[in-house]
Amino acid sequence: MRTLYTATVAAMGLLVAACGTPEQPAEAPTDELPGAEQPTDDDADGEAAGPEARLDLGDHCENPEDGYRIRYPEAWQANDGQVTAPCRAFDVAVPDIQPDTVLPLASSALITVEDRGFDEMRALIQDDPATEVHDVAETEFDGRAALRVDGAATGEAYLDEGVEVHRTYIALGERTLIASSNELGEPDLDVRRDLIADMLATLEPIDRRDDARDDTTDSTDDATDGATTDTDEGTPLIGEASQEPRSGGEGSGYLVDARVGHHDGFSRLTLEFEESVPEYEVAPTDGPILAHPSGEDLELGGETYLEIVTTGTSVDLTGDEATRTYDGPDRFDGDGAPIVEVAISGDHHGVMSWVIGLSGEVDFAVADIEDPARIVVDVIDAS
C-alpha cells in the first residue's frame, strides 16, 4: 500500500511558536533570483546593504478541484491545468507536466491537498518513509495552523537519497494543504522556502467544483440498457445488484483516478485507468483490513467490507524510472450509509487492492466500462 507520504512525494514529482512568524529568507546569489531587487552599495567598501529582497507576489491563481486561491511570485509561472488541476505547480518557467506523469520534481513549489485533517497529518509526519525529518516548527498563516518541516529524502520514493526537502502543512478546513519544494532547480531551497511562506499568507479557500472528484459526469450508456448520464437524481444502477462476487477485465493497466459519488439510493466507487480495464474481482471480505505487504491494520471504518483486487496499479515501472500514474488520496470518507470509508489496502508487485467499508451487509452492482476505462462499483443504500 502507498503510505500517506509516499503518495505526497509522488504528487510532488512527485510538502517557532504557535503564533510565530516565518523565518527571514536566507541570502542567495543575485543570479539565482530572477526578478528580485538587487542589493545596493551603502559604504566605501561596496558591501551589500543587506540580504536580497524577496520576489514580489503577482496575481492569484485558483484550483477549483482542491478548493483554494493563492498568489505566487510574479516572476514565476503556474501550470495551466491541461494535464492536472491548475495552480498546483509553480516555477521560474512554465511547468512542463507530461500526460500520465507526476508533477515535475524540480519545480520551485508544488501544492497538493490531502483529504485528512491537520491534526491527523501532524501525527503522521514522523512516519514518513520517504523523508528523514530533521526539523518540525509550528507556526500559523492568517490564523490557520501550520507546520514547517525540513528534512532529506530517503530514496524510498522519487527523490534520490539525501536530497533536501521542505514542506509546509497548513489547515484547510477538514483537509490539509501541503506546499513542497526541494533543492533541485533554481532559486535555491532557502529562498523558495520563504517564498512559499509568502504565498501561504495569501491562501484563500474557495468552493470546490461539484464535479471535481465525484462521479456525476460518467456516461453509462455502454454499460446498461436505457442508462443515462449520471446525475444525483435518477441515475441508474450500473448493473444487477447482489452480494455475489464479480470479476472481469483483462491484462494490466495503470490507475489515473479514483472517486466516490453519491446518488439517489446508492453510492458509487469509480476506479479509472489509463487505456483499458485490467483484470479485477470484487467480493465481500472479512475485517480487520490489513495493508499489504506490511500487515498493518488500516483501521478502516465500517461494519462489513467489500474488496476490489485488480492487476491495475498506480505506478508504471516500464521506464528507466518509476512513474506514478495516480496522484490522488489513498483514503476517502464516505457518507456514512452505505459507504463509511474507502482506502487502498495494497499496491505491490503489480496487484492493487481497494476496500470499501460499509454500514452493513448490502447488495452491490459491478461493471467495467470503456472510454474512459473504469471499474464501477455501486453499493445499495439499504436505509
Same domain? 81 vs 172: yes
Same domain? 59 vs 166: yes
Same domain? 195 vs 253: no
pLDDT value of residue 128: 80
Structural domain includes residue 275: yes
The H-assigned helical ranges of the chain are 4-12, 118-124, 189-200
Same domain? 305 vs 355: yes
Domain boundary among 205, 229, 255: 205
Same domain? 163 vs 273: no
CATH code, domain carrying 346: 2.60.40.3500
Same domain? 275 vs 371: yes
Same domain? 201 vs 264: no
Read off the C-alpha cell for 195.
517564498
Structural domain includes residue 322: yes
Same domain? 253 vs 196: no
How is residue 308 annotated by DSSP? Answer: E
Contacts of 349 (CB under 8 A, 6+ apart): none
pTM: 0.48
Same domain? 117 vs 68: yes
Task: Report strand pairing: 175-182 vs 266-273.
Answer: unpaired
Domain boundary among 205, 238, 269: 205
3-state secondary structure of 279: coil
pLDDT value of residue 221: 35
Task: Report strand pairing: 312-313 vs 253-263.
Answer: parallel
- Per-residue pLDDT tens digits for 22-55: 333 333 333 333 333 333 444 433 333 333 456 8
Structural domain includes residue 224: no
CA distance 345 to 329: 12
CATH code, domain carrying 52: 3.40.1000
Structural domain includes residue 306: yes
Same domain? 49 vs 198: yes
Structural domain includes residue 71: yes
What Å distances lie between residue 15 and 31, 108, 121, 318, CA to CA? 26, 12, 11, 27
Give the number of domains in the chain: 2
Spans of the chain, pLDDT less than 50: 1-52, 100, 210-234
Q: Which residue, 311, 296, 383, 380, is CA-closest to 343?
A: 296
Domain boundary among 147, 175, 205: 205
pLDDT value of residue 141: 92
Which structural domain, as residue segments, surrounds residue 371? Answer: 246-380
Q: Which residue, 6, 8, 34, is CA-closest to 108?
A: 34
Structural domain includes residue 236: no
3-state secondary structure of 372: coil
